[in-house]
Structure 1
Amino acid sequence: MKIKTLAIVALSALSLSSTVALAATTTVNGGTVHFKGEVVNAACAVDAGSLDQTVMLGQVRSAKLATAGSTSSSVGFNIQLDDCDTTVSTKASVAFSGTAVNSTNTTVLALQNSAAGSATNVGVQILDSAGTPLALDGTTFSKAFILNDGTSVIPFQARYYATGAATAGIANADATFKVQYE
């Protein structure tokens, strides 16, 4: 009986393997893999997680941004520098670039237009660790932070800033940054 069962199991396994062996191979198109990076000659390298990050400001009631100059609560974010060598430089500062809402509010980022409808009379401010709004001209750098050997983290904050009575809608903005070493 055991031999008969063993023979049936062996025969079944052989039939399955021959079916798999006769199956046609199929190839389909895949996608594209992008490899992005940069080799730098600097005291540190910007951490990959800091290069393209999203700061979630969340939902804020338009009533909180009803008058020019009113702000939402600040949300913290960091720019992390890796592989720092303090024998090369001991300090780093950051400058942000972006489109200002107008020439009188040069520390307020304009919102991106959205097909679904953008909020109006509001922008985004980037603040240093002391809560001071930073200019968005790409040439005005934050205060210098002392670097550590290895990893250094530079803290910032972001918040909504009303330029008038804000109306509801999507409120996204983008800024780029660069790091200066001293």
Structure 2
Amino acid sequence: MSNSHSKNSLSIDIDETDKRLLRLLQLEARMSITELAERVNLSATPCARRIKRLEDSGIISGYHTQIDAQKLGYPLAIFIAISMDRHTAERFLQFERKIQSFDEVISCSIVTGRSEDYLIKVRVRDMAHYEEFLLHRLNRIEGVAQVHTSFELREVFSRSIV
């Protein structure tokens, strides 16, 4: 996971055409330049230039494929709230580096408004896999003081469109 704040802080003006391009790419990132251009009433070259400008500015930070985790054998989604023992920059940085190395972790956020410091979401095959992850990896990260687990019963929806 990269820190989007330090990646590109270039500020660019976004117009309605840029917004339409971004929405289309979020819905279908594999859409051709020709089709994108058609949908936003541009020719292909100006459309490609706009996309390149959005990429160079960091507004478009990558292209991703959505995967059905259940069909791949990872039916359990778990939210884990984590409290750290000390609130120092070094402790948080150490935790963040380590948590990124675990393939099971699909998101990690620092949160406010609760007693915990982090909220992570993990995907596992079954309870035995979760137990191994929790006891032998997550709880062994230096500084993890407390964890609180909530199992996702059903994802109502997930949206990555801004």
Please indicate, yes or no, whether the TM-score normalized by the shorter chain is above 0.5. no
Q: Which protein shows a greater Rg?
A: 1
Pairwise TM-score range, normalised by the shorter structure? under 0.3
Give the number of the structure whose residues are more often strand, by fraction: 1
TM-score by length of 1: 0.23
